[in-house]
A = this chain, B = another copy of it.
């Protein structure tokens, strides 16, 4: 492509300087684009570098290896999820049903809208790799926020206190994760039915949570 020789570069804003400016962020953003368009398998560091307009080895100054890049992308996903959970408000007059419905649908919509990122976030590769401790911390912080949701529901007497918030969070997240999987490619369900399935799941959940 247009690889301008960097010697005595003109400093016009249109031209690329020798130093990119914020290559790390640009790489993550471009990775997300590629991953959404072609899946994780379709992402190669060389194509990525080309898309951003740098040499093949430039990314290695910002990420130890490809896995570190993927972990950064996945971390970004957990940050988005974290903010989503942060925004769940528990108004005193809101019925439990409504609160759960909003939260569940927010989560599922994220998974449905960005299935490849979602799979990357929860794939075993990044979770088993001891190198990706920071990613795992980001993910667990996100889950911690989810646990807090149940703490709030209990302290506002919206749900009973028979089970610990952590246990409730674990079980409901498990269901949520499975529903996300069902929603992705028609695994064991029609995509159109997801809303209805989630609704049924919520109804059943309310039965066991009600005070």
Residues of A within 8 A of B (CB): 39, 41, 115-116, 119, 122-125, 127-128, 139-140, 143, 163, 167, 169-171, 173-179, 181-182, 184-189, 193, 196-197, 200-201, 204, 207-208
Contact = CB atoms under 8 A, between A and B. Distances in A.
Given A171-B197, A174-B176, 10 more contacts: A127-B187, A128-B185, A139-B188, A140-B188, A167-B196, A167-B197, A167-B200, A170-B188, A173-B178, A173-B182
Contact of A163 (B167, B189, B200): B200
Of residues A143, A175, A178, A197, which shows the largest number of chain B Cβ atoms within 10 Å of its Cβ? A178
Contacts of A128: 39, 185
Of residues A39, A116, A175, which shows the largest number of chain B Cβ atoms within 10 Å of its Cβ? A175
A201 B173 CA distance: 11
A7 to B, nearest CB: 38
14 contacts: A39-B124, A39-B128, A124-B185, A127-B185, A139-B188, A167-B196, A169-B188, A170-B197, A171-B175, A171-B179, A171-B204, A174-B174, A174-B182, A177-B178
Contacts of A115: 124
Contact of A124 (B119, B124, B171): B119
B201 A171 contact: yes
Contact of A207 (B41, B122, B124, B207): B207
